[in-house]
Amino acid sequence: MRALFFAIGQAFSSFWRRSFVTFLSIITITIAMVILGAFLLISLNLRGAIGSLKRQVQLEFFLKDGTTKADASSLIEAIKGERGVESVEFVTAERAKIEFIDEFGEELLEGLKRNPFPPSIRVELAKDLTMGEAVDSLAAKFKDDKLVEELSAPNRIAHSLAKASRISLILTGLWGLVLLIAATTIITNTVKLAISQRGDSIRVMQLVGASRNFVRLPFLLEGLIHGLISGSLAWAVLWGLSEAAGYVLPSIIPIPLPWNISIVLLGGAFGAIGSIIALRRYLNY
Amino acid sequence: MVISAINIGKSYLEGTGSRLIVLEDLSIDVEGGKVIAITGESGVGKSTLLHILGLLDTVDSGRIIFNGEDVSSLNDSQLSRIRNSDFGFIFQFHYLLPEFDALENVALPALLAGMSRPEAESRAKELLSAVGVAERAGHFPNALSGGEQQRVALARALINNPRLVLADEPTGNLDPKNEDKLIDLLFGLTREFGMAVVLATHNMAIARRADQSYLLREKHLEEVIC
Ligand SMILES: Nc1ncnc2c1ncn2[C@@H]1O[C@H](COP(=O)(O)OP(=O)(O)OP(=O)(O)O)[C@@H](O)[C@H]1O
Ligand SMILES: [Mg+2]
């Protein structure tokens, strides 16, 4: 217990002694983590947008006038057998008309003698399938069927959003990797500086019989505090950013709490890894 | 016997990749309560030997026996405990912790040994009086003279009642007056408490005051009869 207090005291005192270097490195790591968080925020929101688009997206094959469910049954069965197809529904011309009236009112159809809506087959796609593939293969396969008059292509925006989200996730991952290396290196270097500045004190601790772990603890704590402060700052900045973005785009999805906590912990992890590397390399006795 | 070195060898890897042999087939017994002086030219390995005897460094060959046990079988925390409770160190460069005052520096080994703070501090006060710097107890090392710092370091070396005090040119940075004062205190207090001393020094007059005196030369110890 006493050892722990001593170690914490040492960690803080050496923190203040090199306050400028410490400050710079904390700021650098914070900025890097904020960038990571921003990527995360973007990926998250892209995915959210795709999710809501996906719900609206169906593939709809419009059939020739007068086609009955019985006529289309073999086509329906064939579509059902396709990969990525969740459900298939035959929509009669009558139903299409009712749906239209429900949505837009009767006025638009006034004066029309006959029902302008063709019967159709609506295909619901499984959500976990990537948009593009499933749509393209289904469309290609059935659009030339003799019963099919026209194909309503699904929202192409969803397709490109899916692509953007994938790219943004990859970028997040890559940046995360860069961050891991950069933050760890920065912390390793500040702890290395701490070790070299405290060379004599380390010697003293060894002389008076402090164990190796006891001597290491303050440095480990210093790196850890370092990382945790950076992580907390990054979290605060990101919170501010997503609040501010919320004013502009009210529908923005904020970073969920567990992820926020992870950002702080991630900072702590960088700190711990950085100091362990520094201790293994530079505290040689 | 407090500690024995038996046929030890020690070398360092030099920057060029070759090995510099410092000690070879060297043996020494440190008896309880005895004062041993080690002299020798600069660079012969006096500090190296003291570090090995203080369990701060390891040997390439041979054995170090402490309390009848080969220390190579001990782990870091066991070695630390021995350094804390059985050894006291004073080195040329007064290694005091700059962020602690004199009293706290002296109390540190006792605190590490698990003594309560009031107890450790009262013992530290007694020792600071014994070495004549009681009135400087609240000063930080940078406000102490070289002689005062070494006396604080001596007090720290004695606080856990060690069986052996290792002193590596403790007066190397002191003027003759302070040198005499420190050596008088070192010899006087360790004799009073029955502690053994291994002292590395360049000063032959000091070496002659020891119970045994050795000259370290060409990797070996030669006993000096005076
Ligand atoms: N860590 C080390 N790495 C490489 N060589 C070392 C190391 N420590 C000491 N040496 C070399 O070992 C030899 C003995 O050094 P040591 O410090 O023991 O001598 P010394 O007798 O104490 O000298 P002095 O009287 O100047 O203090 C020297 O040549 C020194 O350069
Ligand atoms: Mg030396």
- The verdict on a CB contact (< 8 Å) between A208 and B112 is yes
Task: Give nearest CA residue, ligand 1 atom 14.
Answer: B45
Residue written as token pair 């030369």:
B217
Cβ B93 under 6 angstroms from ligand 1:
no
Q: Picking from A57-71, A227-241, B147-161, B166-180, which range would have the lowest pLDDT averaged per residue?
A: A57-71
Interface touch A210/B80, C-beta < 8 Å: yes
Per the domain annotation, does B136 fall within a domain? Answer: yes
Residue A283 distance to chain B (closest CA, Å): 14
Q: Is the model's pLDDT at A5 over the cut of 80?
A: no
Binding site membership of B43 for ligand 1 (Cβ less than 6 Å): yes
Convert the pLDDT of each residue in A139-174 to its tens digit: 778 878 888 887 776 555 566 777 777 888 888 888
What is the reported pLDDT for B7? 95
pLDDT of A245 above 90: no
Instruction: Name the residue with the closest Cα to ligand 1, atom 23.
Output: B43
Same-domain check for residues A196 and A244: yes
Residue A32 shares a structural domain with residue A132: no
Mean pLDDT computed over A129-137: 63
pLDDT mean over B14-33: 91
**Whether residue A229 sits in one domain with residue A143:** no
Q: pLDDT tens for residues B117-130? A: 999 999 999 999 99
B3 falls within a domain: no
Instruction: Please tell me the predicted confidence (pLDDT) of residue B162.
Output: 95
CATH number at residue B206: 3.40.50.300
- Tell whether B170 is covered by a domain: yes
User: Which chain A residues are closer than 8 Å to B93 by Cβ?
Assistant: 200
What is residue A97's predicted lDDT score, i.e. its pLDDT?
A: 87
Lowest mean pLDDT among A35-44, A149-158, B54-63: A149-158
Question: Span A94-122, mean pLDDT?
Answer: 82
The residue-averaged pLDDT of B77-102 equals 89
**Rounded distance from Cα A167 to ligand 2 centre (Å):** 62
Whether A117 shows a pLDDT value over 90: the answer reads no
**Does residue A232 share a domain with residue A207?**
yes
End-of-domain residue from the set A153, A171, A190: A153
pLDDT of residue A263: 87
In this prediction, residues A7-24 reach a mean pLDDT of 69
Check if the interface score ipTM surpasses 0.85. Answer: no
Residue B109 has pLDDT above 90, yes or no: yes
Q: What is the mean pLDDT of chain B?
A: 91
**Residue range A277-282: mean pLDDT, rounded:** 86
Residues A168 and A260 in one domain: yes
Mean pLDDT (whole number) for A216-228: 87
- The residue among B95 and A19 whose pLDDT is bigger is B95
Between A102 and B184, name the one with better pLDDT.
Answer: B184
Q: How far apart are the first and last CA of chain B?
A: 23
Q: What's the CA-to-centroid distance between A238 and ligand 2, angstroms?
A: 56
Residues 6+ apart with CB under 8 A from B94: B141, B146, B149, B150, B152, B153, B173
Q: Of A4-18, A209-223, A238-252, where does the model show the most confidence?
A: A209-223
Instruction: Please give the structure tokens belonging to residue A64.
Output: 């020739």
Contact A209 B83 (CB under 8 A): yes
Whether B26 maps to a domain, the answer reads no
Q: What is the model's pLDDT at position B166?
A: 95
Is the pTM for the entire model greater than 0.80? no
Residue after which a domain boundary falls, among A92, A125, A153: A153
Ranges assigned E (strand) in B16-86: 19-30, 35-39, 61-66, 69-70
Which range of residues forms the domain containing residue A106? 58-153
What residues form DSSP beta bridges with B70?
Answer: B65
Concatenate the DSSP letters of all residues of chain A into one string: -HHHHHHHHHHHHHHHHTHHHHHHHHHHHHHHHHHHHHHHHHHHHHHHHHHHHHHH-EEEEEEPTT--HHHHHHHHHHHHTSTTEEEEEEE-HHHHHHHHHHHH-SGGGTT-SS--PPPEEEEEEPTTS-HHHHHHHHHHHHTTSTTEEEEE---HHHHHHHHHHHHHHHHHHHHHHHHHHHHHHHHHHHHHHHHHHTHHHHHHHHHTT--HHHHHHHHHHHHHHHHHHHHHHHHHHHHHHHHHHHHH-TTPPPPPHHHHHHHHHHHHHHHHHHHHHHHHHH---
Is residue B1 in a domain? no
Residue of A nearest to B83 (CA): A209
* A4 inside 8 A of chain B by CB: no
Q: Domain of A106: which CATH number? A: 3.30.70.3040
Does the CB atom of residue B75 touch ligand 1 within 6 A?
Answer: no
Residues A31 and A85 in one domain: no
**Domain count of the fold of chain B:** 1
- Kindly tell me if the per-residue pLDDT of A193 is higher than 90: no
Instruction: Please tell me whether residues A68 and A6 are part of one structural domain.
Output: no
The tally of domains found in chain A comes to 2
Residue A284 has pLDDT above 60, yes or no: yes
* Ligand 1 pocket, residue B51 CB under 6 Å: no
Report the percentage of chain A scoring pLDDT > 90.
Answer: 5
The pLDDT, as a whole number, for residue A9 is 67
- Which pLDDT score is estimated for B78? 92
In a domain, B107, yes or no: yes
- Would you place residue A38 in the very low, low, confident or very high pLDDT band (cuts 50, 70, 90)? confident
* Band (B201; pLDDT cuts 50, 70, 90): very high
pLDDT of residue B215: 94
State the DSSP string of B112-140. HTT--HHHHHHHHHHHHHHTT-GGGTT--
* B162: containing domain: 31-58+74-224
Question: By the 8 A CB rule, do A149 and A62 touch?
Answer: yes
**pLDDT (0 to 100) of residue A4:** 59
Task: Specify the range with the lowest mean pLDDT, choosing from A135-144, A224-233, B151-160.
Answer: A135-144
Q: Do A194 and A117 share a domain, yes or no?
A: no
pLDDT number for residue B70: 94
Instruction: Write down the pLDDT at residue A155.
Output: 56
Asked if A147 and A176 sit in the same domain, the reply is no
Q: What pLDDT does residue B214 have?
A: 94
